[in-house]
Structure 1
Amino acid sequence: MPGLSFTLPHWLYWVGLIVFPAIAMYLARRPLPERRLFSIPLGYTILFTGGIIGLHRFYLKSLLGLVFIPVFIFILYANSAAHHARSDVSNFTNRASMAQRIIDREGPRIEAARVGLPDLKAAVAASEEGSFARRSAEKKLAKAQEALTTGAAKLEEAQATLAEAKPLAEEAALARGYWSRVGAYALYLLLGLIAIDALLMPMLVRRANASIDENEDEEEEPDPSLAQVEAAEAPVKDADRADNFIDRLSLFCGEFVAYWCVIAVFVYYYEVIARYVFNSPTNWAHESMYLMFGMQYLIAGAYATLTESHVRVDIFYAPLSPRRKALADVLTSVFFFIFAGTLLVTSWIFAMDALAVPSGNGLLSDWARGQISTAEMISRFDLGQFTDPAIRWGEISFNEWEVPLWPMKWAMVVGGVLLLLQGISKVGKDIRTLVRG
């Protein structure tokens, strides 16, 4: 079975966290077409991400996608069988190796004991009855005979184990090779089907669009009274909560990091395929995603404050009038600013410490350690600080991927600033409600 050796570059990780949400936000803001048709770009996207199980065929309303599923399931079964066979090879090989070591160790011992046995018997016969030399010779003789007996039993058991384990290891190796080959053939078949559909995609999309009924019945006009009821019961939109620049900034940041969840879907999908189809688990997927979700949690705090999405017990707060709610918010904002200020100060300390670690040899690390001034750091900063592989700005992870951790610490600072600004905006609104009613 062919393997995957792809490791996500650090620069691609950061570029993806910035570029993907920007593209997603642009696409989400595009006006919807009057008549929805099947799309070639979307077809290729689904082919690339889910073509291995025929999702692109299902998107185009083609039942031929069912052809992909049995092949994919067979690949999973072949990989599972190859994995079990590999474990059997390891187990039986270890048993055979241990048996061979026992044979190599006990064989010379038994031979040495067998050769020295006549001399020990002669020493017993030559010694005087009841003497110390006789007792000593008898002990040596008994020990040699015991070693000969136990050694022969161990040797016989090891030889039997070796005779049993060696053929089983060879049989398991053959099974492993067989399942690896048939799994690879099935994978090549699946990739061939995907390649064929990649060439046929424009034709498939045109055929799917042609199958759409051009004379669809016109939609019935909605009942005006029903529309009024739905409008009255509709929840408040997030955009309606944005009254100033701070609110719009929190709204933008919350929407931006929300699309990171889509990135997680693609990454974990790749991890599953790489692990169970190509037997090549990654060393970066899990770490990259939990670091990403940590940054998302911090940056989205201001958005959650704006939209009142934080979990709270409002059994006493909910029945209050708007002015009393504003008064309660102003009085309890003291605790909010204590938390937000502590988060900001602590995050700043963590971020500066992450840049100033001894392993950091870039200008930013020298600046964070106080070795150079801000003006000198700015004047000497160039593109080499990004492109030179020998330069490390600060703290990195301890696993094989070695991703820099200092950007995550600075994301805490960004989250703290956004949260503090949103708290100021909220207090301003509450004071305005108290004054104007």
Structure 2
Amino acid sequence: MSQADRMTRTDRKAILPGLVRGYVRWIDRVNRVVGLFAMYLVVAMIGILLYSSIMKAVAIPPLWTLEMAQFVMAAYYMLGGGWSLQHDSHVRMDLIYSLWSPRRRAMVDCVTILFLIFYLGVLLYGGFSSTAYAMRYGETSYSSWAPYMAPIKIVMCIGVALMLLQAFAQFFRDLALALGEELP
């Protein structure tokens, strides 16, 4: 019997520190709540577009409806990114990935998620820069409605930050699985 087989279940849980486990649970909980909220933004977008359609048939459509629907849609997919990553519902090119064991997939994911973390870090840096510019100079859209851009840019930065935090949580989850432990 090997030493790994002799380890009790409590010994195996000691692979990752309690702080990391708490972080993964906390980020999962936050992204679950934000993702469920984001799901309802589709209903808000449908309401805005329905209002626009009714007003177009009855009177002159308001200037704000199309752009507001675009803002709501942007908030929907940016705030839902962390939830999508958490539930593994993002798009994946799966040629040989599904043939691998869960542990091998976790090992590969530990490496590939580092690219996602780098990308999200760069995206967040650019988002902060763009948001700061929008806030400092009162940037508005080029449409005839001309809404301020800072609120949607703030929402987009929050969405990227939540996805980055979820990517770290996913890295820890994959690392644990690669080491022979499964995090809930």
Matches within 5 A, 1:150-189: none
Which of 71, 77, 82 is matched with 1:302 structurally?
Answer: 82
Is 2:136 the counterpart of 1:356?
A: yes
Matched, 1:323 2:103: yes
Query: What is residue 339 of structure 1 aligned with on the other side?
Result: 119
Any gaps of 5 or more consecutive residues in structure 2? Answer: 1-23
| Cα contact 2:103–2:180 (8 A) shared by 1 | no
Per-residue deviation at 1:401?
Answer: 2.6
Counterpart-to-counterpart distance in 2, 1:266 and 1:411: 20
What is the distance in 1 between the residues matched to 2:109 and 2:100?
11
Could you tell me whether the CA contact under 8 Å between 2:81 and 2:159 is conserved in 1?
yes
Distance in 1 between residues matched to 2:81 and 2:168, nearest whole Å = 14
* Match of residue 69, structure 2, among 269, 275, 289: 289
Matched, 1:265 2:9: no
| Structure 2 equivalent of residue 280 of structure 1 | 60
Question: C-alpha separation between the residues in 2 aligned to 1:279 and 1:412?
Answer: 33
Say yes or no: does 1:414 pair with 2:158.
yes
Alignment of structure 1 residues 79-118 onto 2, 5 Å: none
Cα drift, residue 291 of structure 1: 1.3
Paired AA for residue 116 in structure 2: F
1:303-343 CA-partner distances (Å, limit 9, x unpaired): 11111111111121111111111101001122111111111
- Matched residues in 1 for 2:70 and 2:103: separation? 41
SS in 1 for 2:98: coil
Q: Of residues 62, 76, 91 in structure 2, which corresponds to 1:311?
A: 91
SS of the residue 1:404 aligns to? coil
RMSD: 1.4
Q: Return the alpha-carbon distance in structure 2 between the equivalents of residues 299 and 350 of structure 1.
A: 18
Deviations 1:108-136 (A, max 9, x none): xxxxxxxxxxxxxxxxxxxxxxxxxxxxx
Paired with 1:415 and 1:272, the residues of 2 have a C-alpha distance of 29
Query: Which letter maps to 1:280?
Result: I
What are structure 1's unaligned runs of at least 5 residues? 1-242, 358-393
Q: Residues of 1 paired with 2:176 and 2:142: CA distance?
A: 50
CA offset digits 1:163-201 (Å, max 9, x no partner) = xxxxxxxxxxxxxxxxxxxxxxxxxxxxxxxxxxxxxxx
| Aligned mates of 1:326, 1:332 — CA distance in 2 | 10
Deviations 1:28-69 (A, max 9, x none): xxxxxxxxxxxxxxxxxxxxxxxxxxxxxxxxxxxxxxxxxx
Q: Secondary structure at the match of 1:244?
A: helix
Residue 93 of structure 2 aligns with an amino acid whose one-letter code is: V
Q: How much has 1:396 moved relative to structure 2?
A: 2.1
Contact 2:135 2:150 survives alignment (8 Å): yes
State the 1:270 CA deviation.
Answer: 1.3
Count of aligned residue pairs for this structure pair = 158
Report the 3-state secondary structure (helix = DSSP H, G, I; strand = E; otherwise coil) of the residue aligned with 2:179: helix
State the AA in 2 paired with 1:248: R
* 3-state SS of 1:436 partner: coil
Q: How many percent of aligned residue pairs carry the same amino acid?
A: 28
SS in 2 for 1:318: helix
Partner of residue 28, structure 2: 247
Q: 2:90 is aligned with what amino acid?
A: H
Distance 1:404 1:316 in 2: 46
CA distance in 1, matches of 2:97, 2:110: 13
Alpha-carbon offset, residue 269 of structure 1:
1.4
Report deviation, 1:279: 2.5
Q: Structure 1 counterpart of 2:71, which letter? A: L
Which residue does the alignment assign to 2:169?
425
Give the Cα–Cα distance (whole angstroms) in 2 for the partners of residues 413 and 268 of structure 1: 25
Higher relative contact order (CA 8 A, sep 6+): 2
Asked if the contact 2:140/2:148 (under 8 Å) is kept, the reply is yes
The CA deviation at 1:345 is 0.6
Deviation of the 1:344 alpha carbon: 0.8
